[in-house]
Amino acid sequence: MRFFGLSLGNQRKESPVSDATTVIVLLAAGTYCLKALGPLYFGNSRQLPVKFQEIALLLPTPLIAALVVTSTFSENNELVLDARVIGLAAAAIALWKKLPFFIVVIIAAVATALWRLTFS
């Protein structure tokens, strides 16, 4: 575990591929398979069943949230609290204020950069 740059606990071997990258690759492969198999399953009908429509509408939000949390709080299978947490907090506040998305990204990047500049 690392806390703002200080190492706490065991050090593990680094994996050549991060967990977030593995998740993204698996999701991309799953999406490709679903898109490829869709016409075979549904034939000429273009309308998805209601159950599939409900699932398709609910999936993206928790998947993106899981990727954000994993990318922010983990590194090399360890819990990490560093400047990324400050950037995430700044982005959360900007989203709460309902600012445009590109402004949210800029605020998060600036907050993270200022934290690293000040405390690194």
Domain positions in the chain: 1-80, 82-120
71-85 pLDDT per residue, tens: 899 888 888 899 999
Measured CA to CA, the distance from residue 27 to residue 67 in angstroms comes to 11
pTM above 0.85, yes or no: no
Please state the separation of Cα 5 from the chain's center in Å: 22
Instruction: Give the chain's residues under pLDDT 50.
Output: none
pLDDT at 35: 81
**What does the pLDDT read at residue 116?**
94
